[in-house]
Chain A
Amino acid sequence: MTTTITPATGFDDPVQQSQQAFRALLDAMARPGRVTTVETEAGHPEGLSPALAAALLTLADLDTPVWLGPGFDSEAVKTWLRFHSGAPLTAKAELAVFALLDAAQMPALESFSFGTDESPERGATLLIQVPGLTGANAMIWRGPGIKDGIAMPFCGLGQSVWRQRTALSIEFPRGVDLYLGCGRDLVALPRSTAISIEGA
């Protein structure tokens, strides 16, 4: 007999809760840099931020391959995600529509799909779990949804990741969209946001 892991629970009320989470995700994406709290709570495997768990359950479905980064490719996460969303898990990062990543173990951003000039919407959305969304401000974000500019900390992501993201600006409209999640809070960083790192 094959040993099976019983998955963690998901949304208690999928219809209402996924809409509430979707609203939070939408608000966050419309206001890059603003910390948004995902009020609705989903059951989730241990170690995964509730905000990102809710985001995954809301966004991922049968048509969206998900890539689980190092740290999240455990049986507990796989079983949970497959059970609740039905999303196929892909071993190839470039095929992923969504990717779940840990800030401490970030692969190169270019391993993900940026979409094409004809279909920029094919670019991947990366859900990154970070240790915190506060800290010493180290960069300025500018772009649609931000009045003037907003000072942001590195949020526990390495400098190299931010440099890669900065370099991506010239690819626009191709690129990747990021959600940085910590606990029940998240910050969105769409590809339209330009980043200037202070002192760089």
Chain B
Amino acid sequence: MTAQATQTDPEIGARQRRLRLLARADRATLEAALAALPAPPEWRRLKQPETGLTMVRARAGGVGQRFNLGEMTVSRCVVALEGAGQSMGVGYVQGRDCRRAELVAVFDALSQDAAGAERIERLLIAPVERKLADERRTRAAKVAATRVDFFTLVRGGD
């Protein structure tokens, strides 16, 4: 494959962000967003939704040797929109909900042109991002409420 696209490419960065947020949206949110579209999209599946395992790799503390943390269940799907552009979208989600993977793929496909990306951003991506940020803040606040500061008396001068 060619190395024409790297992660510094803003388009790829935007798609990574989009797919990251879509993957964390729950099914009800995705279905509601699909129903809210002015014209329901039609698509065909290039790769049928399927569930499998993927190895998650990590580095302890973010440095050092990579090791296999464990396998997680992932569902994926690839679709192409019917119509002139036939733009293609991919969806990968955690777990076994194939419908979610398919919907993520549809929204990714709908975001392939600038106008569509803008619409999906407003309709779905931004709300999901806000919701996730809220959840994170709530959790952080709960944790902060029970915070205990430990301190140690240092003995001796040196």
Contact = CB atoms under 8 A, between A and B. Distances in A.
Given A1-B11, A2-B4, A9 B45 contact: yes
A83 B48 contact: no
A9 B4 contact: no
A83 B88 CA distance: 12
Contacts of A14: 48, 50
Contacts of B88: 4, 6-7
B73 interface: no
Contacts of B122: none
Interface in A4-23: 4, 6-7, 9-10, 12-14
Residue of A1, A2, A6, A9 most packed against chain B (CB within 10 A): A6
A6 B11 contact: no
Question: Looking at chain B, what size class is its interface with the partner chain?
Answer: 10 to 19
Interface residues of A, number: 12
A4 B12 CA distance: 14
A14 to B, nearest CB: 7
Interface in B44-94: 44-48, 50, 78, 80, 86-88
Contacts of B46: 6-7, 9-10, 83
A14 B50 CA distance: 10
Residue of A2, A9, A83 most packed against chain B (CB within 10 A): A9
A2 B86 CA distance: 15
A63 B45 CA distance: 25
A13 B87 contact: no
Residue of B11, B45, B78 most packed against chain A (CB within 10 A): B78
A44 B31 CA distance: 31
B112 to A, nearest CB: 9
B65 to A, nearest CB: 25
24 contacts: A1-B11, A2-B4, A2-B5, A4-B88, A6-B46, A6-B80, A6-B86, A6-B87, A6-B88, A7-B46, A7-B88, A9-B44, A9-B45, A9-B46, A10-B46, A10-B47, A12-B48, A13-B48, A14-B48, A14-B50, A83-B46, A83-B47, A83-B78, A84-B47
Interface of B: 4-5, 11, 44-48, 50, 78, 80, 86-88
